[in-house]
Copies of this chain bind each other. A is one copy, B any other.
């Protein structure tokens, strides 16, 4: 009541403004709605004079074609669903940025949601995307289970980015854009071994399912290839939270005071390693070398700056979006796209201290 009764002196009629539709424009311009549609969708032919008039009228009426009406008819919404575990994680954020960039260049828009690593939430989000009839889905799966495959079946292109579900059922049936994590870990491991390190701690992801995680595998393989025995006691695992990472790092580094280097499989364990080293009064890199995966902003700000394996997060997002939007996704299995990583050497790794050096300190 309040609103309706009060509509008097508003400057430009605006109260509960119902958006102007194609009919209004047609009426005002004295043409049929089909003509207005043709003007705005660019299809068909319209005489220059008519086009002018329609555009003018549309401008006056502040007409904007409704994507809802259009989508209903054309069966394309122009939207892409994007689900990542956590938008405030720098890696995820960069992936999102890449997707946005590509989506924009393709004229698509993006529905974003965060899974927070919760399978239930993941399923809800997938449901919502389906209901919204997105044209494609890009997902960074967080866990083992996989609520996403439904899309493939309904003909909506689905692309994994940055990670694939760890359940075996996946088997490359869904296209994916990944960083070459194995190569990244290998390069870091080789670098550390090259500096003389033999007792290298590894801070990895938990392995809830059967397969122990790509990076952990890669770490073992790299050491083995270099003839360095793998000490299982030096492999620690943590969930992707600050607390869990810190606990794992602290546990490992206190238990094994003899290790000379730590390789963190992500920026969270990397951060934890730095903090624990500081807590334990270890000088980096004199007492302990630290390297991590993910070359994020603070790597350069830490003191000393951290040696890191860069994953091309932005490109991952961009490429994934291309696949999802183009629908190229559906052509054959094709296997995952692997993007190269790069070892960025900074000051956090040094030669392995000899036993005497360590004892003296």
Contact = CB atoms under 8 A, between A and B. Distances in A.
Contacts of A278: 303
A65 B67 CA distance: 18
26 contacts: A19-B133, A19-B154, A66-B131, A66-B133, A67-B132, A67-B133, A68-B72, A69-B72, A86-B97, A87-B93, A87-B97, A88-B93, A88-B96, A88-B97, A90-B297, A93-B93, A100-B112, A101-B114, A104-B113, A111-B111, A111-B112, A271-B297, A274-B301, A275-B300, A301-B301, A303-B303
Interface in A291-334: 297-298, 300-303
A300 to B, nearest CB: 8
Nearest to A314: B88
A274 B127 CA distance: 46
A112 B114 contact: no
Is the interface on chain A under 10, 10 to 19, 20 to 34, or 35 or more residues?
Answer: 35 or more
A153 B10 CA distance: 11
A155 interface: yes
Contacts of A154: 14, 17, 19, 62
A341 interface: no
Interface in A242-276: 271, 274-275
Among A14, A100, A302, which residue has the most Cβ atoms of chain B within 10 A?
A: A100
Given A69-B72, A113-B110, A64 B130 contact: yes
A289 interface: no
A158 to B, nearest CB: 13
Interface in A101-144: 101, 104, 109-114, 127-128, 130-133
A15 B114 CA distance: 30
Contacts of A104: 113
6 closest A-B pairs by beta carbon, nearest first, are A298-B298, A303-B303, A112-B112, A88-B93, A88-B97, A93-B93
A354 interface: no
Contacts of A101: 114
A14 B153 contact: yes
Contacts of A131: 64-67
